[in-house]
Amino acid sequence: MTWSKLKKSLESFLCPALSGRVEYLASSYHYFPDKSGACYIAVDKKKVFNMRDTTTSIRWFQTELEIKNALDIQIPISSEEIEALRNETNALVPEDRLLVMARSRKLSEYAKEMMFAQSSLSKSNFNVAANKFLTTPIEESIESNDILLNILALVDRRVGKKRLVNMTEKMKLKHPIVQYFYELRLSTL
């Protein structure tokens, strides 16, 4: 599909409140056909989604350690996870230490998932992800680990208020750029 048709299709799925505010932009290399160009998502004429741009206000993590040390990441720990850890350690570890251990384990898993999502995004082609979004059910895009699919689903008109409100806890575990678009969409309700 050509870029103009793809852009038109994506923009036709934007929720009415974000129509005109969210834009899909692309640059291409006319003299270098082997170069795919770069794609951006702009909100209110400001390029927000561009992983390679260091001037963006969205934080892109370089290492797993950065994610583990980020103070703004909140990892919810369930009582089942603490109980499983208690059984694993034969109840020899103090309660406050169990919480630290459970958070550390979950944060390690989260960091690996986040780094995987970022690395797959940097290798992916915007057009391929956009075509996948247009051909799969919206639920798959929301549940996906692909950052770009999450963003396209969040600004989609098929995602209603009730579904958005119910996704609050899930969004805390997503990449900051996904959280940005989630907050943007919530602000339109």
Q: Over the stretch 23-66, which tens digit does the pLDDT of each residue have?
A: 988 765 555 555 555 677 889 988 887 755 445 555 666 777 77
Q: Where are the domains of the chain?
A: 64-114
Q: What is the largest CA-CA distance in the chain?
A: 67
How does DSSP assign 55-97, residue by residue? TSSS---SSHHHHHH-TT------HHHHHHHHHHTTT-S-HHH
Tokens of 184: 């943007």
> Where are the alpha helices (H) located in the chain, listed in sequence order?
3-12, 64-69, 79-88, 95-123, 126-135, 138-143, 147-154, 161-166, 168-171, 176-186
pLDDT at 16: 93
Q: 88: buried, middle or exposed (CB in 10 Å: 19+, 13-18, 0-12)?
A: exposed
Phi, psi of 136 (to 5 degrees): -115, 160
Q: Over the stretch 109-130, which tens digit does the pLDDT of each residue have?
A: 888 877 776 665 544 567 788 8
Is pLDDT at 162 greater than 90 in this prediction?
yes
Tokens of 61: 């993590």
